[in-house]
Every structure is written in C-alpha cells, then in structure tokens.
Amino acid sequence: MAPHRTNIMRRTRSTQANPLQWALLMVIAAALAVVLIGGIRQWSSPEEALAVTAQADDGRPPIFIAGPQLRPPTTIAVAQLPLAPEPTSIILPTPTAAPTEIAVVELPTVALPTAVPPTATAAPVITTLHQPAQLAAQLTGLRHFWQTWNNCGPATLATNLSFYGSTLDQADIGDVLRRYADDKNVSPEELVSFAQGQGYMAQLRVNGSADLARTFISNGIPLLIETWLEDEPGDGMGHYRLLVGYDDMSARWIVYDSYAHTNPVSADPNTYQGIYMAYEQTEAWWKVFNRTYVLVYPPDRDPLVRSILGDAYDSTVMWQGAIAAAQAEIAANPADPYAHFNLGTGLMQAGDFAGAAAAYDQARSLGLPWRMLWYQFGPFAAYTEVGRYQEVIELGQATLTSAAGGIEEIHYWRGRALAGLGDAASAQTEWNQALVLNPDFAPAKQALEGMPY
C-alpha cells in the first residue's frame, strides 16, 4: 500500500511542479471560449443569445432564465386592460384641443386588396375611414346643463355642441326654439335646423342601433337620441339624451342627461361625468321613438360619417331599413305596439298612407302611453292623407286637452283636417294658433299663405 501512496504523491507533485502545462491548457480553453461565443453571436437570435442555461450541481434538470425580450412596442387594446371597479374606457381627447386630438379620424385608411390576375378587370378600391367600435370608449370635454322647465332639447343640444367648442348654453338655444314658455315639445327637426344654422352638418335619422352608436362614439362623434323617460309607471314622457361613452363589459352607456341623475359616473357631485344607463333599458326607451337620433358634426367629418353609415347615409335606404326592422319585430312579437307604430311611420315616408294608417290603428288598439302623441304626429298625418278628417280633429283635441295646450303640430293637423272638411275659417284659426306657439313653424306659415301642403 505504501508504494501506491508514494506514486500518487509523486504525480501530484509532478503536476504542481510543471506550470507550463497549466498555462498551455488555459490558452486552449480561452481560444475555445472565443470560438463558442462568436458562434452564438453569429447564429443565434438576440433572445437566444441572452438566454442563460444553468445546470444544477446535483444533476437536476436545467433552469431556463429568459433574458430581455427584444420586440417592438405594442398598443394594448381595451380588451387586454384589467377590469376596474368602474367600467374601463378609452378616453378620447376632446376635439376642442389640438387638431390631432381625435386620433381615430386620422387612422390610416383600410382598403380591400386590389391585386387581380393580369387578365381580370381591377375591382374598385373600397376605402374605410372609420375604426370599428372599441370594447369601451368615452368622450370628454363636454359641458353639462341641468335643464329648465321642458327644456331638455335645448339643454342636450347645447351639451352636444359644446363637444365641438360651442359656448352656447341652453338659454341661448331655448330662446330660439321655445318662444312659448309652455311649449311641450322641441322636435328633432328643430334641433337639426338650429345646429345647421350654427355652421354644423346635422341630420335627423331613425333606425339607430347600439352597434352604430358605439361606432360613432369610438370615432369621436356623440349621439343625441330621443327616448322615453318614465320615473313612475304609466307616467312617461319624451326625453333627449346624449350618448358619450359605453362599456361592453358592464353593458352600460355613459349618458349626459339634463334631468335624470341616478347612477352617476363620478361620486363627486361637483364633477359631472354623466350617468350610467343599462343597454337593455336604453334600447327599450329608444325604440319608443323609432330609434331616432340627431347627428351633429363639423362639415369636415362628413366623409367619416359616410364611412360609418355606408349605404344608409341615403335617407331612402335608411327608411327601408326602419320598415324592415319594424316588420321583423312585429313577426317576433305581434303584440308590440311600438313596432306597429314605427312601421306606420316608415310607411308614411314610403308614401303608403293606407298602410301607415292601418299600422297606427293597430298600435293604438294595443295601447300606447297617454303622452305618446305629444311628440309623434304620424297618425295625424296618415289619417289626414286617407281622409279621416273628423278623427284627426277629435284625436287632436283629446291630445291638446291632455297636454293643456302647447303643441303647435297638433293645431297644424287640426287645421289640415278642417280644411279638408271645407271649413277654411276654422282651419286658419288653428294655423294662427300654431304660430302663436312657434312663430317660425313653417308648415303653418305655408298653409296660411296658400302654399301646397
């Protein structure tokens, strides 16, 4: 055993006594390391080169530790945002700041591919100027007004125009649109006319939808809608609201409302940011008015609006869609009075007066809110066109009695019916009363001047 130990000791001493061998080994190892690192740099991706694999001393599997991921920056979509206690949203900059504030208008256009085989005729390029609706969006920078008596139309329009930088308030607009203190109704036609007089493009439209409203908001255009309001069962009335935001995750709109104040977005009473309204409730109340909306926007955004509306930008196509929607709803629920009423309104626009009168009859037989005809006058028009003059006079008087007066449109249609019965003097009395309520009411002026209806 001793010689064996002696031999080992000799080998050890021999290695320690020969430093040249150690130096040579170190040089070879260094050269191999240089070759290895160069190979990694040449053939590996940045991520692979930065990855480190550590082998455990006890033989366990290696632990992979990834280095920095070298990738271009990305934009996080709303769908990737974590849910917060209140609805998350994309805050769109107000259009009253820098020209680039509504970025969605400046997005690159999206065109269908135009590559075709050499022998084929090239298809036209279809350009889309708008972006699709986001999962959540909110417009900011608006002024809110708590309405004065019966002034929801001017108050809501003032809020709508404020988004584009207008400084008009509800009194400025109300002084023009509500000359009579107890005027029960500022029509959407009047709102459109006023906005156009301020230099904006404005349209009165029907057959709106939640998808359409979300798309407009996502592209920086608020939507003024005509809806029902019912604080107590059986005591509803017409009411304008402005859609300025939404959140699909919570199925709620953000609405600037001049009257209702429940479910505020902000807990701070001094910081108005709108109220929340459930999608389902909003749809039910919007349907009462054939999903009517007033679209107001600066002229330079008309190409954007055309892109969003598509063929329905044309009013004939829009009304065809409204008729089809009403017919589908009647097929699904024949006892739906609002679907029949909306069908009557659509058929009136199509010139089918007999069909419109029959649809209105069905709606009335199913039961309508008692204030319904304070705001919508299609039945008076349809019955007049088919010669049911006495019914127009009686229905008009019943409506005026329920409203305690104050509806110029009813006086106009009573005048038309009286004229149809040959009572010209009484007809003129009705038209003059219409002008007392609204001196700018063009149909009554034209009737008195003997112009064709």
Residue 405's contacts (CB-CB under 8 Å, 6 or more residues apart) are: 182, 437
Give the pLDDT of residue 103: 33
Say whether pLDDT at 126 is over 50.
Answer: no
196/205 Cα distance (integer angstroms):
15
234, 246 in Cβ contact below 8 A? Answer: no
Q: Which range is most confident: 23-37, 38-52, 75-89? A: 23-37
Confidence at residue 182, expressed as pLDDT on a 0 to 100 scale: 84
How far apart CA 140 and CA 257 sit, in angstroms, is 14
Print burial letters for 258-283: b (CB count within 10 Å at least 16), e (below 16): bbeeeebbeeeeeebbbbbbeeeebe
Q: With bands split at pLDDT 50, 70 and 90, how would you rate the model's confidence at 269?
A: confident
**Is the Cβ–Cβ distance between 296 and 201 less than 8 Å?**
yes
pLDDT attached to residue 328: 98
Evaluate if residue 106 carries a pLDDT over 80.
no
pLDDT above 70: percentage of residues in the chain: 72
pLDDT of residue 310: 97
Question: Which residue pairs, CB below 8 angstroms and at least 24 apart, start in 418-424?
Answer: 418/389, 418/393, 419/447, 420/384, 420/387, 420/389, 421/389, 421/390, 421/393
Which secondary structure element, helix H or strand E, spans residue 411, and what is its range?
helix 408-420
Mean pLDDT of the chain: 80
List of domains in the chain = 136-309 (3.90.70.10), 315-448 (1.25.40.10)
In this structure, of 86-95, 171-180, 432-441, the range with the lowest mean pLDDT score is 86-95
Task: Let me know: does 411 contact 434? Beta carbons within 8 Å.
Answer: yes
pLDDT higher than threshold 80 for residue 45: no
Q: Is 125 exposed, middle or buried (0-12, 13-18, 19+ CB in 10 A)?
A: exposed
Distances (CA, A) of 50 to 29, 43, 64, 66, 301: 22, 13, 11, 7, 49
pTM exceeds 0.85: no
